[in-house]
Structure 1
Amino acid sequence: MDFIPSDESPLFIKGFRIYTYYLFKRRFSKVWLKQEYQPDNSSKTIYYLNHHSWWDGLIPFLLNEYIFHQRARAVMGIQQMQKYSFFKKIGAFSINRNDQRQTLRSLRYAVESFERPNASLFIYPQGEITPPGSSLHFEKGLAWLSQQLTDIEIVPIGIYIHTVRNDKPELHLWIGPSIKTETSHSKQELTQKFENKLENILEKLRETAGFDDSIFERFI
């Protein structure tokens, strides 16, 4: 199969929401949140995140169900979608980055998803899991989407997992403010800007997570 579209199931989402919350509660000693963006009922948003762990597949669902409340979809690698087919029931659709034609098909599907009111999209522009602390290097898909879509807010989210204070890990999530872009910017310029914005958030997370709780709110 070259492409797996999303096939949202409201009943499955309802049950999986509860399961996901208690999964995070059980596996992490605490989950913290720093929030600088909140969509309203008319917002359409692309959220992009760093990709360093298995948990990244569930974090977008958790955030949307308990914080954003939008009609969310997420991009997921074709192999992971084939292995965990239930993700299509919560809004994930596949992308095959080894096939340029199929990559474009997935990106066009993402654009079409924004025809729905209050739509959002979660994307990991690194394209694969990378070691924590490594430099960000984005593929061009996020920049391409930003050029195709108008009136879309683009929001970085930093993910940081650590064991500074406990043998059981803590999860810190930092939702940055929406990013203003210029239509004159090239894909390369946009990609660099998106990388820099998220890297700034990750740098702040590395400096504060586990040391200064005052700027975070307890999420779970």
Structure 2
Amino acid sequence: MMEATKRAWFEALFDLYNHRLLKKHFHTIYLSSSSAIPLPSQAVFCINHSSWWDALVLFHLNRHVLHKDLYVMMHEKGITEYPFFRKLGAFSVNRAKPRDIIRSLSYSGKLLQEGKTVGLFPQGDEFHLEKRPLQFLPGSISLIEKYKQIPLLPICFYYSFGHVKNPEVYIHIGEPIYYDQLQGNKRKDKNTALERMYTLQLDKLRELVINEKVDSFHPIL
């Protein structure tokens, strides 16, 4: 497992590069004005994973809106290909090795104990935006099971081509979800409940975008 090597100076420089990159490839990024504000001081971010851009969009969202000391669990392959992500707060997980999963979750817990915010892509891998079911892995549930005072924060990304040349990104941040709010007594049941709640939020975002009912969104790029 590769731990993060976060550097504030690198984040500042990368933000300049990332902003130009996103502006080049996207018309804009929109955030729902109804997203949960104020946010909890600490959370486990839960994000759907459908694009290579997800990590860069998340970095921009956190840097310019959320302002959390964020660390993100990423697949080992991704960090190996793009090692600079470690300086932005990424740490690795290899799902092919059960012991590595345990180490990554243990490291996540250590970060939470230090007051950090942790970001997870509970689908594990990158899947098509419209794929259902989302098939969440239980890592996020096992994490907040140990830290029940820290909520999950569902963050939905939806990519769309509209009336302009470049695609747009729409983001909605849901209400914080605490472990005890999830139905079920077993980890599997609570994971199913989380996936169901997240799917409803993502599908609602999709319907708003498809039907162009996006007056409640404002640009953050």
For residues 120-139 of structure 1, what are the structure 2 equivalents within 5 Å? 120-135=117-132, 136-139=134-137
Number of the residue aligned with 1:197: 197
Q: TM-score, normalised by structure 1?
A: 0.92
Number of the residue aligned with 1:146: 144
Number of the residue aligned with 1:98: 96
Number of the residue aligned with 1:207: 207
Q: CA deviation at 1:166?
A: 2.5
Counterparts of 2:190 and 2:23, CA distance in 1 = 36
Number of the residue aligned with 2:21: 23
SS for the counterpart of 2:163 is coil
Residues 173 and 63 from structure 1, CA distance in 2 versus in 1: closer, same or farther, beyond 3 angstroms? Answer: same
Q: CA deviation at 1:181?
A: 2.7
Number of the residue aligned with 1:47: 45
Residue-by-residue CA offset, 1:119-148 (whole Å, 9 max, x unaligned): 211100100011121111011101100101
Single out whichever of 207-216 and 101-110 deviates more from structure 2: 207-216
Residue-by-residue CA offset, 1:100-124 (whole Å, 9 max, x unaligned): 011100000000001223x211100
Number of the residue aligned with 1:168: 166
Residues 29 and 202 from structure 1, CA distance in 2 versus in 1: closer, same or farther, beyond 3 angstroms? Answer: same
Q: CA deviation at 1:193?
A: 1.8
Single out whichever of 19-28 and 97-106 deviates more from structure 2: 19-28
SS for the counterpart of 1:14 is helix
Identity percentage of aligned residues: 27
For residues 1-20 of structure 1, what are the structure 2 equivalents within 5 Å? 3-20=1-18
Runs of 4+ in structure 1 deviating by more than 4 angstroms, as ranges, are none
Counterparts of 2:68 and 2:114, CA distance in 1 = 10
Residue-by-residue CA offset, 1:37-89 (whole Å, 9 max, x unaligned): 4435xx21101111101011212211211111111100000111111100000
SS for the counterpart of 1:159 is strand
Q: CA deviation at 1:201?
A: 1.5
For residues 49-64 of structure 1, what are the structure 2 equivalents within 5 Å? 49-64=47-62
Q: CA deviation at 1:92?
A: 0.3
Unaligned runs of 5+ in 2: none
SS for the counterpart of 2:180 is coil
Counterparts of 2:26 and 2:38, CA distance in 1 = 24
Q: TM-score, normalised by structure 2?
A: 0.92
Residues 37 and 155 from structure 1, CA distance in 2 versus in 1: closer, same or farther, beyond 3 angstroms? Answer: farther
> What is the aligned residue count?
215
Number of the residue aligned with 1:218: 219
RMSD: 1.5
Native 8 Å contact 2:148 2:180 kept in 1: no
Q: CA deviation at 1:164?
A: 2.6
Q: Is residue 108 of structure 1 aligned with residue 106 of structure 2?
A: yes
Counterparts of 1:116 and 1:181, CA distance in 2 = 20
